[in-house]
Amino acid sequence: MATMPMTPMTASPLPSGRTDEARLPGELLASFDGMVYRCRIDEHWSMEFLSSGCEPLTGYAPLLLTSGRIAYEDITHPEDRTRVRDCIYAALETNERFSIEYRIVRRDGAVRWVQEMGTGVRAASGGYVALEGFIQDITRRKESEQALHEAERRFRSLFDNAVEGIFQSTPDKGYLAVNPALARMYGYASPEDMIETLRDIDQQLYVDGDRRQEFLDQMNRHGQVISFESQVRRRDSNIIWISENAHTVRDDDGRILFFEGTVVDITERRMYEAKIRHQATHDALTGLPNRNLLYDRLQQAIHGSRRSQDIAAVAFIDLDQFKFINDSLGHQVGDELLKAVTARLKSCLRATDTVARQGGDEFVLVLANQKSMEAITDTVRRIIAVVAEPWPHGGIDLHVTCSVGISVYPGDGQDAETLLRNADSAMYKAKELGRNNFEYFTAEMSLNANERLEMLNSLRQVLANDELLLHYQPKVDLASGRVVGAEALLRWRHPVRGLIPPASFIPLAEESGMIVAIGEWVLRAACAQNVAWQRGGGPCIPISVNLSPRQLARHDIVDLVADALLTTGLDPGCLELEITETVLMRDVDNSLVILRKLKELGVRISIDDFGTGYSSLNYLKRFPVDTLKIDRSFVHDIATDQDDAAIVKAVISLAHILNLRVVAEGVEEEEQKRFLMENGCDEVQGFYFGKPVEAEVFGEMCLKRKPDTGDQARTKRLLKAPF
């Protein structure tokens, strides 16, 4: 058999074909009920790729066919091979897709009918080099059609009672015969009514006249159509989707007598398929393109810019205050806010631009065919302003801003992955510079992103390499000046960078999920250290450990605390767990259950960063807590800011009414100490009283010695030493 020539068949690309570089999304192939393939145009249709549907269809593993040990044409039924080649070559000659039905012989000897639909693939030189397509088993349908055809000649009643629409028609004289099912499908009272009324199929029935012409062309060329899908207009003007199987009936001289075939209403199936396609490519909450479709749109923008010599931009958008709103007011409010932001973003874009949801509170814009950097800047500034407008909810105006990072093709990247990564780096820079602004990508940002990745990789080894340690900051009783507690603060002893404070790596640990394992290490290490101090002669003072949101969300947090106490032998009264207010308010009912179980263990509970969230008095009195910890943001200006002073006074008064102790953190000046003492604050911590120090220093100076005047002075000097 002669092979297809490799030279270009036409100067124009195949309208319905795909370029040699394009690929089907691999994650979808396994869901197809059939076999996706790519083969060379040669004597044996040598297979280059076969999806996992190959073995269910043919009985052969894909490797047997792609390795050349078995040629696909060998399993094509001998009587059908020539027809298959002729049909494919004819479609390639006319730059069309092909659809053909034929038989194959499975490995077990069974003969099956298949339908093959595909298209030619061109090389860069323009000639066809391969075929790509989809083959599915249609044996059942063929058997059904053959049975129906045979039964139709024998039993007229089956024609009248068939569920499928059945017809006979001519190319230009309308319908000769239709069954009741088809008349009902098209909205006519009876077959006779339909034949009498529907005399112009082209104009009265088909929504797209070109589709009707394609039907006639296929009938003239091939004498049949298989699964020919079209939109038709019912008598009541409603539009439905149909699938037709039909063939040409000719007289002895070869003249067309009529067409006959079957029609199925596939409207519901098409709607379901459209829904599934939409779900696969769009975000369920906002309806925006998701990551899958985003990459496709970005690739299109890149190709368009190459052709037009214009520039394309990627804008990575992150909402600045979204997490605070989402945690405080709940996910339902957060979802509504995301929908509102979506509408605002879309209002700023052209029809040719794309806004996609990357995930969470992150959005990505693809700005195609931009004439200048100024045009990009104007669009981004408009977006920042629109997003920052107040969003009314529940009688109040909520405010959310966004930080935007921009990368531009071709200068900042030649492919979608690079452009997205660089836009993301620019967005982080915009956040570092104060949020609610935008930054264009620079080469320096790429270095920062690499440093971030390097730190993340190093962080994965901290536990195995024993690189973590705890420092302890004293909590001081204001009335007596005695150290009455300690807060365990995490440090990372990096082998190259030295001692790294938590603010530099805890966010990475949270994002990566490593905070769970690190948090468990902190809990056990702090408990063990407290026991060590007591065995060395120190008193049992509470040691405070912070619980992260991820830890509190775990179902085993109570068991973890109980096991840490048991294995270290620490008295539960010597452990205080600090939980931030916003974390508790995220799920009040669940938080209440967990706190009660923790209290049953005998540990102390402290609400950290109090005043930054949305706690109400009703919730506060229900929580079984021992201490309120005033956030340092309120303490910083209490001596000069009347509002902060009033807030701190109110918190102290509220806590004492509820029989709770109050701890003020971040105390660094004498004026702050004096204000807190005058207003009855119980405990304080901060650089004024002592910086975090290593366990040995804390134990020696605060626990082992009975304080006298000289010891107090030495303790104060050491605790204020740099850590």
Give domain status of residue 399, yes or no: yes
Q: Tell whether 106 and 152 lie within a shared domain.
A: no
352, 368 in Cβ contact below 8 A?
Answer: yes
Q: Tell whether 505 and 646 lie within a shared domain.
A: yes
Range of the domain at 36: 18-137
Q: How far apart are CA 606 and CA 604, in angstroms?
A: 7
pLDDT at residue number 149? 74
Cα angle: 306, vertex 307, 312; to 5 degrees: 45
Q: Tell whether 551 and 634 lie within a shared domain.
A: yes
pLDDT at residue number 9? 39
Q: Tell whether 129 and 254 lie within a shared domain.
A: no
**How large is the average pLDDT for residues 39-57?**
90
At 254, the pLDDT band (50, 70, 90 cuts) reads confident
H/E run at residue 544: strand 543-546
**How large is the average pLDDT for residues 694-703?**
80
Q: Token pair 């009498």 is at which residue?
A: 196
- The fraction of the chain above a pLDDT of 90, given in percent, is 43
- The fraction of the chain above a pLDDT of 70, given in percent, is 88
**How large is the average pLDDT for residues 52-74?**
91
pLDDT at residue number 11? 36
Give domain status of residue 495, yes or no: yes
Examine the pLDDT at 696 and tell me if it is beyond 70: yes
Give domain status of residue 196, yes or no: yes
Cα angle: 340, vertex 341, 343; to 5 degrees: 65
**CATH number for position 593:** 3.20.20.450
| 83-87, 146-150, 287-291, range with greatest mean pLDDT | 83-87
Q: How far apart are CA 549 and CA 584, in angstroms?
A: 9
At 381, the pLDDT band (50, 70, 90 cuts) reads very high
DSSP 166-230: EEEE-SSS-EEEE-HHHHHHTT-SSHHHHHHH---IIIIIBSSHHHHHHHHHHHHHHSEEEEEEE
* Final residue belonging to a domain, choices 456, 491, 516: 456
**How large is the average pLDDT for residues 62-72?**
90
Q: Quick check: bond before 722 cis, omega within 30? A: no
628, 609 in Cβ contact below 8 A?
Answer: no
pLDDT at residue number 478? 92
pLDDT tens-digit map of 527-585: 999 999 988 888 888 999 998 877 877 778 899 999 999 999 999 999 999 988 767 76
Closest CA to 549 of 346, 708, 324: 324
Q: Tell whether 125 and 147 lie within a shared domain.
A: no
Give domain status of residue 566, yes or no: yes
Q: Tell whether 260 and 197 lie within a shared domain.
A: yes
pLDDT at residue number 720? 41
Closest CA to 224 of 136, 95, 102: 102
Q: What are phi and psi of 396, to 5 degrees?
A: -125, 160
Cα angle: 294, vertex 297, 300; to 5 degrees: 150
Q: How far apart are CA 151 and CA 141, in angstroms?
A: 15
Q: How far apart are CA 528 and CA 185, in angstroms?
A: 78
Higher pLDDT pick, 483 / 612: 483
Question: How many domains does the chain fold into?
Answer: 4
pLDDT at residue number 708? 42
Q: How far apart are CA 71 and CA 75, in angstroms?
A: 7
Count of alpha carbons within 13 angstroms of residue 600, beta-carbon side: 9
Give domain status of residue 629, yes or no: yes
Higher pLDDT pick, 397 / 185: 185
pLDDT, mean over the chain: 84
pLDDT at residue number 717? 42
439, 405 in Cβ contact below 8 A?
Answer: yes
* Helices and strands (H and E) in the chain: how many: 29, 28
Structure tokens at 174: 């309308």
Examine the pLDDT at 447 and tell me if it is beyond 70: no
**How large is the average pLDDT for residues 508-520?**
82
Give domain status of residue 717, yes or no: no
* Final residue belonging to a domain, choices 137, 153, 183: 137
Q: Tell whether 577 and 640 lie within a shared domain.
A: yes
585, 607 in Cβ contact below 8 A?
Answer: no
Examine the pLDDT at 436 and tell me if it is beyond 70: yes
**CATH number for position 197:** 3.30.450.20
pLDDT at residue number 21? 47
DSSP annotation of 5: P
Q: Give how far Cα 424 sits from Cα of 194, 313, 315, 317, 418, Å.
A: 61, 13, 8, 8, 10
pLDDT at residue number 140? 92
pLDDT at residue number 619? 65
Tell me which of 11-15, 352-356, 452-456 is least confident: 11-15
C-beta neighbour count of 316 within 10 angstroms: 27
* Final residue belonging to a domain, choices 67, 102, 137: 137
Examine the pLDDT at 699 and tell me if it is beyond 80: yes
Examine the pLDDT at 2 and tell me if it is beyond 50: no
Q: Tell whether 435 and 293 lie within a shared domain.
A: yes
Give domain status of residue 530, yes or no: yes
Higher pLDDT pick, 5 / 412: 412
pLDDT tens-digit map of 206-246: 998 888 889 999 998 899 999 999 999 999 999 999 999 99
The model carries a pTM of: 0.45
H/E run at residue 105: strand 98-105
**How large is the average pLDDT for residues 490-512?**
81
Q: Tell whether 118 and 169 lie within a shared domain.
A: no
Count of alpha carbons within 13 angstroms of residue 517, beta-carbon side: 12
Q: Give how far Cα 471 sits from Cα of 240, 421, 664, 698, Å.
A: 72, 36, 19, 9
Examine the pLDDT at 627 and tell me if it is beyond 80: yes
Q: Tell whether 131 and 149 lie within a shared domain.
A: no
Q: Token pair 């010597």 is at which residue?
A: 574
Q: Give how far Cα 187 sits from Cα of 285, 293, 333, 505, Å.
A: 37, 38, 46, 68
Count of alpha carbons within 13 angstroms of residue 498, beta-carbon side: 1
C-beta neighbour count of 474 within 10 angstroms: 26
**How large is the average pLDDT for residues 107-129?**
92
At 616, the pLDDT band (50, 70, 90 cuts) reads low
Examine the pLDDT at 504 and tell me if it is beyond 80: no
**How large is the average pLDDT for residues 248-257?**
89
Q: Tell whether 522 and 633 lie within a shared domain.
A: yes
Q: Give how far Cα 2 sits from Cα of 86, 87, 504, Å.
A: 11, 14, 68
Q: Tell whether 479 and 396 lie within a shared domain.
A: no
Give domain status of residue 541, yes or no: yes
What number of residues does the chain have? 723
Higher pLDDT pick, 505 / 572: 572
Residue 493: burial class (beta carbons within 10 Å; 0-12, 13-18, 19+):
middle
**How large is the average pLDDT for residues 408-424?**
88
* HEC readout, 352-384: CCEEEEEECCEEEEEEEEECCHHHHHHHHHHHH
